[in-house]
Amino acid sequence: MAKRIWVTADTHFGHADAIGLFARPLAINDVKSMDEFLLDRINTRVNRRDHLLHLGDFTGPRVWKGDEGEVSMRYATDLRERIVCETIEIVRGNHDPSRKRLKDLFDDAHELLTFKGWAEGQERIVCCHYPLRTWQGIFDGAMHLYGHAHGAFEALGRSTDVGVDCWEYGPVLLDDVLSRLSEQPPPDRHQIPPRRQPMRAPRSAEKIALREPIY
């Protein structure tokens, strides 16, 4: 079977409040059942030889330093080992530890990941944990995948939230997401609205203007 690429975000393993906050179909505060539910969603979709791209917040809020940090790493490691997919790459989210620690858990870790080319096209793909208002290549058809918002933000142009709370609580095939986005036209660079932010003088310039001139 050919390797497939899957994408997901915002599993928030171990985060009891996530059940109520994001209306997950589980008993309130039953974090053990949530973890099992999300692991099952991953393992029933993603095969051992596939590639999983996770756009951040693998776990929910945790302490990642000191003795508590070691407990958090053991918890995250146990979860990682229970995912059958051999290759997992992550884009760091706000609840994740440092990239150095993430690289101990996953095959690679990024703050932002951008690449060109997918099964049906050569558009640039920009992957970030956070939803961006503009991104590299936006006017040339580039597509943007993000998490963090848990479906709360309206998608802008060729962008979409790939978090579990938007895709039936599990990963989605990258090509399926991009195929949908590619059906939308990219914004027209010639229709950029006028500048909306008022012109402002930087405060540093005000301070410099009060100094005695130097001859």
Instruction: Report the C-alpha gap between 94 and 15 in whole angstroms.
Output: 14
Structure tokens at 18: 């996530």
- 40 Cβ contact list (under 8 Å, min separation 6): none
pTM of this prediction? 0.91
For residue 213, the model assigns a pLDDT of: 60
Cα torsion through 177, 182, 185, 187, rounded to 10:
70
Q: What's the sign of the alpha-carbon dihedral 94, 174, 87, 81? A: positive
pLDDT tens for the 215 residues of the chain, in order: 458 999 999 999 999 999 999 999 999 999 999 999 999 999 999 999 999 999 999 999 999 999 999 999 999 999 999 999 999 999 999 999 999 999 999 999 999 999 998 888 899 999 999 999 999 999 999 999 999 999 999 998 999 999 999 999 999 999 999 999 999 999 888 878 888 899 988 887 666 656 666 55
The domains located in the chain, with CATH, are 5-189 (3.60.21.10)
